[in-house]
Each structure stands twice: as structure tokens, then as C-alpha cells.
């Protein structure tokens, strides 16, 4: 994951989104994973970056690039 990508993650029973490389979250937490993912994808589309899901065990292979020139994520 590169700095600037959007990351959706779970912490203390809630789901959050943040810009990779920053400690602040984007908005408030979500009780439902699907709501946090939708907001994270929307933020990634707006910024034309990747969206990644992270669980307590680390990042998953679930990622999507929304930029005009996505980098090789394989």
C-alpha cells in the first residue's frame, strides 16, 4: 500500500477509514463493515487512489485501484 491510498480497518469494535500514512481517520467510525467499505471506496474514487481492507491480522488481497493510471498491485 502506498502513502495516500485509502485504508478501511477495524479498531475497538468499529470500522474506520484513513489515508495511508496519516493517523487521523476520515470521519466517524462505522458499526457495519459494508458502510465503512462503501465510504472508503468513495474516498478512493474521489482521490483516484487504491482502496484496501485491513483486518487485525494485516492487509488482505482485497484492493481496488481507482486512479487514472493505477500502479501494478500484483
Tallying the residues shown for the chain, one arrives at: 74
What local confidence, expressed as pLDDT, does residue 64 receive? 59
The residues spanned by each domain of the chain are 6-56
pLDDT one digit per residue (tens) for the chain, 74 residues: 567 899 999 999 999 999 998 889 999 999 999 999 999 999 999 999 999 998 764 455 555 566 555 555 54
What local confidence, expressed as pLDDT, does residue 72 receive? 55
pTM: 0.73
Amino acid at each position: 500500500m502506498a502513502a495516500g491510498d485509502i485504508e478501511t480497518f477495524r479498531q475497538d469494535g468499529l470500522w474506520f477509514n484513513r489515508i495511508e500514512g496519516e493517523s487521523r481517520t476520515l470521519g466517524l467510525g462505522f458499526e457495519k463493515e459494508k458502510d465503512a467499505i462503501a465510504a472508503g471506496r468513495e474516498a478512493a474514487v474521489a482521490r483516484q487512489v487504491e482502496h484496501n481492507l485491513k483486518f487485525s491480522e494485516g492487509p488482505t488481497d482485497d484492493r481496488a485501484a481507482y486512479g487514472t493510471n493505477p500502479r501494478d498491485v500484483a
